[in-house]
């Protein structure tokens, strides 16, 4: 994990902003729905797409935790 002093670790982790959302739109789904579909059937998608789906789910969890505060 990133050092606590590095507050912009998420921005550095995102190499291709919007790429996963574009894939989701092309599939006719929302990013969250597409992430669920990819994680349920990872063999159908590329390794990069599976990694992007896992990262999208992680970011969603972080966002939800911050909203509860």
For 39-57, the pLDDT digits (tens) are 999 999 999 999 999 999 9
Q: How many angstroms separate the Cα of 17 from the Cα of each of 5, 10, 45? A: 23, 11, 19
Q: In whole angstroms, give the CA distance from residue 69 to residue 53.
A: 25
Residues whose CB falls within 8 Å of the CB of residue 62, separated by 6 or more in sequence, listed in order: 10
How far apart CA 14 and CA 37 sit, in angstroms, is 21
> At residue 19, what are phi and psi to the nearest 5 degrees?
-65, -45
| pTM value surpassing 0.95 | no
- Domain ranges for the chain: 18-42
What is the predicted pLDDT for the residue at 11? 75
Give pLDDT, residue 53. Answer: 94
What pLDDT is stored for residue 17 in this prediction? 84
pLDDT mean by block of 10 residues, the chain; 69 residues: 64 82 94 94 93 90 73
């Amino acid at each position: 994990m990133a050092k606590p002093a590095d507050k912009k670790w998420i921005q550095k982790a995102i190499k291709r902003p919007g790429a996963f959302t574009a894939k989701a739109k092309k599939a006719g789904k929302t990013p969250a729905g597409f992430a669920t579909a990819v994680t349920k059937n990872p063999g159908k998608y590329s390794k990069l797409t599976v990694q992007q789906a896992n990262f999208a789910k992680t970011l969603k969890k972080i966002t939800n935790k911050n909203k509860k505060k």
